[in-house]
Structure 1
Amino acid sequence: MSPRDTTDVRAITEAEIADWIRALNTGFLRSPAVSERELADRSSYIVPERTLGAFDGARCVATFRSFPQELTVVGGAAVPADAITNVTVTATHRRRGLLSHMMAADLAAAKERGDVVATLIAAEYPIYGRYGFGPATSTAQWTIDVPRTGLDPRWAGPDDGGRIDLVDGEDVRKTGPELHERLRRAQPGAVSRDDRWWQANTGALVLDRSPWTEPFYAMYRSAEGEVEGLVSYEADDNWGDAKQPLNTADVNWLMAVTPRAERALWRYLCSIDWIARVKTGWRAPDDLLPHFLPDPRAARITTQSDWLWVRVLDVVRALEARTYAGSGTLVLEVTDRDGLSAGRYALDAGPDGASCAPTTRAADLTLDVGELAALWLGDESAVRLAALGRVREEREGAASVADALLRTSRRPWCPDLF
């Protein structure tokens, strides 16, 4: 009997949660020990039916979990998504098809449930294209050299009539969820957050595996008194040989629903005494940040990468959910080796809405379901993919038509890691 034949892949039971956590910690190279606090915390939100494990005898050797999520598409509508996380395979059991088995079971269940897409944040690039996922958003991190920004060091607050106040975690829990809802409804690629996110990110829920250090929180209110921005940040303690402060402010997260709030918060961070550098955390790849500074070169990109990966499960609903700046028709031949979304689809799109349906008409473009995911939120170019040989034009100029329909003026962005 082969090693694969001895491994049982299935949904876990409540009694197996501790062993599942041990395998999860092992896969992520954390201490495999499972404390009572971690067990109680994870047991409070894990849904066993959506939590898969591979068991070799009594020992869990692979993990996989999904949960319900909403993903914002172009135009502001939200579609139901199957959010995938906690994916590991123990080093002793690699290359046995365990992830493929778990992924197939989860995606089939998600499609049966009626989810439009599946989502995940990929730790490694080569893995998830095999399952029909494509990189749908990107992210970037900047490091700001504060003395080089050209900002007036005497500046201490917004110059637009608004104000910035330091607040505490309780204030963030009160105002943050509503502010985030405003942000995600306007930001293609953004995803929903549950109450647990706010608890864990403001110290109300302290996780055993992540020692809590209280950060600073700053809130921007407009001249009208409306909360339009929040930032969470920490600072180190670093002094040079000549007793000059060289401290760095590390941004945990910053959200703003207006450019004026965004500008005010970044300028506030650059105005703090002793702060010589600001590390921005994960931001949109076309973030406005550099151009809020008199010298945009003071903000240099230190990380740039793919971020949210999407797997389209329902082509018709996915293409009908979003809006389109222009008008046009496009027939797509979608290939999908797993058969979940394969077919030929006619898209008739315009500013007033879109219709999509299976068709027997000749295809304009042929593409894999993963490439469709890369195009769907407007971040990728069909012309680029055609040049790379990943999209095939069946009608000359069809890739340009696809770009005119699908691409967006601002790039999609997912602020969350899950």
Structure 2
Amino acid sequence: MSRRTEIDVRPITEAEFPDWNRALNTGFLRPPAVAAEQLEARRKEFVPGRSLGAFDGERCVATFRSFDQEVTAVGGAPVRADAVSNVTVTATHRRRGLLTRMMAQDLAAAKERGDVVATLIAAEYRIYGRYGFGPATTMTEWAVDVPRAGLDPRWAAPEDGGRIDLVDGEDVRKLGPELHERLRRVQPGAVSRSELWWQYRTGVVDWNGSPWTEPCYAVYRAADGEVEGMVSYRTDDRWGEAKQPLNTATVDWLLAVTPAAERALWHYLCSIDWVQTVKSGWRSPDDLLPGLLPDPRAARVTTQADWLWVRILDVAQALTARTYEGRGAAVLDVVDRSGLTGGRWRLEAGPDGASCAPTTESAHLVLDVAELGALWLGDASAVRLAALGRVREERAGAARVVDALLRTSRRPWCPDMF
């Protein structure tokens, strides 16, 4: 058996990319072999220095990739992020500290670059807290029982003078990026999308090797013709006895920059002939969808779980990048066992801006950097974390003060998997 000291953790070269992909597929329980065209598609994501591998001899046994990203802070400011993805450790090499070594290398490089936070979508909950990541957003999926929803079966078009048009992938690539930019400027937790993202989702680039089947795409145009919403969805073809339709429309993704667009797109999906169930895809837990239905109980929650995890790399920049609805001050003692950004910080914030600087004042609240990551986008509650024993009040009522500063009226949402 190889000893831990014999395993080399380092950035991979382009020549090692095929072996790295084999290890990646193995770790994600996919067939190890990668078709040549699929491998070439994945090479488009390769950035020198940002894909790490652990090598036992010449064989790659663990994978790790990061890439540049922007995540929207509360208030709409784009914040530089180190997005972590493709994390695997082969089953034969577990419990040898390989992920710890890869994570340490990547976060140190991100800190050196000046990234303010790191982000990831966690496949397993218990892994990433020890590296300073905290669950900062939640994802909810609904299944809408269309006959029960109570919508007007004669609905044919938006009532506000707008219209729904079906489009193709080329239209999506033209219209989608600008629409998404409008959304992420106002949606805390939203992340940037590359041109490659749109190519993957419209079949231009084959990432996973499965035969491409084009979904349906629909856009909502307001009365003035401006595109304010877009949806990608797929339908099946299922029928019951006595020729009763049992069809489902499954949403891949839905973007809307106005409530009118959101209402129109959901009503459109629920009005498609033969469709009995609409599956929502990944939505915010306070999404408008159930409330848009005359009977909100027709929208049944099928999945609810943590989604975007955040790791603060620069406390001062992270806390001053966001906005605050209320006014107040708190001294936070941030514990960071990796030494990247810990210390005691005084936050003073209000609607007109915020300052955050090191201080020697007595702490009001003591918390791990992972808990600060969970609180940063305004979704988690310091009061709840205190009750769970995950933050500690050094001054009575400090958790309530922090909640009054950090929590938001609408919940953050990350529409993407990465």
Does the pair score TM above 0.5? yes
Structure 1 unaligned segments of length 5 or more: list them.
none
Q: Where does residue 138 of structure 2 map in the other structure?
A: 138
Matched, 1:339 2:339: yes
Task: Report deviation, 1:38.
Answer: 1.9
How many residues of Structure 1 are paired with residues of Structure 2 in the alignment? 418
Structural mapping, 1:195-210, within 5 Å: 195-210=195-210
2:41/2:206 contact within 8 Å kept: no
| CA displacement at 1:208 relative to structure 2 | 4.8
Report deviation, 1:406.
0.3
Amino acid at match of 2:245: P
Asked if structure 2 preserves the Cα contact closer than 8 Å seen for 1:249 and 1:279, the reply is yes
List aligned pairs for 1:66-105, cutoff 5 A: 66-105=66-105
Instruction: Supply the distance in 1 between the matched residues of 2:42 and 2:276 (Cα, whole angstroms).
Output: 39
Conserved? CA contact 1:250–1:280, under 8 Å = yes
Unpaired runs of 5+ residues, structure 2, are: none
Whether 2:105 is the aligned partner of 1:114: answer no
Q: What is the letter of the counterpart of residue 120 of structure 2?
A: L
Post-superposition CA distance 1:307-363 (Å, at most 9, x none):
000100000000000000011111000001111111000001010100000000010
Q: Which amino acid aligns with 2:149?
A: T
Q: Deviations over 1:274-302 (max 9, x none)?
A: 00000000000110100101000000110
State the Cα deviation string for residues 43-76 of structure 1 (Å, max 9, x = none): 2221131110000011000000000000000000
Note if contact 1:51-1:64 (Cα within 8 Å) is conserved in structure 2: yes
SS in 2 for 1:345: strand
Q: Distance in 2 between matches of 1:211 and 1:109?
A: 37
Listed as ranges, the matches of 1:354-365 within 5 Å are 354-365=354-365
Give, in whole Å, the separation in 1 of the partners of 2:269 and 2:76: 30
Question: How far, CA to CA, are the matches of 1:328 and 1:162 in structure 2?
Answer: 43
After the TM superposition, list the runs of 4 or more consecutive aligned residues in structure 1 that deviate by more than 6 angstroms. none
What secondary structure is seen at the aligned counterpart in 1 of 2:243?
coil
**How far apart are 1:40 and its partner, in Å?**
1.2
Q: How far, CA to CA, are the matches of 1:78 and 1:295 in structure 2?
A: 37
Compared with structure 1, are the counterparts of its residues 31 and 321 closer, same or farther at alpha carbon in structure 2 (3 Å cutoff)?
same
**In the alignment, residue 71 of structure 2 is paired with which amino acid?**
L
**Residue type matched to 1:277 in 2?**
T
Describe the SS at the equivalent of 2:197.
helix
| Alpha-carbon distance, 1:35 to partner | 1.4
TM (norm. structure 1) is: 0.99
* Alpha-carbon separation, structure 2, partners of 1:7 and 1:339: 25
Q: Which residues of 2 match residues 2-41 of structure 1 at below 5 A?
A: 3-41=3-41
Instruction: State TM-score, norm by structure 2.
Output: 0.99
Match of 2:244 in 1: 244
Q: Secondary structure at the match of 2:282?
A: coil
Identity of aligned residues (%): 75
Instruction: Quote the offset at 1:2 in angstroms.
Output: 5.7
Offset at residue 95 of structure 1 (A): 0.3
Correspondence list, 1:5-404, <5 A: 5-404=5-404
Task: Output the CA distance in 2 between the equivalents of 1:39 and 1:219.
Answer: 33
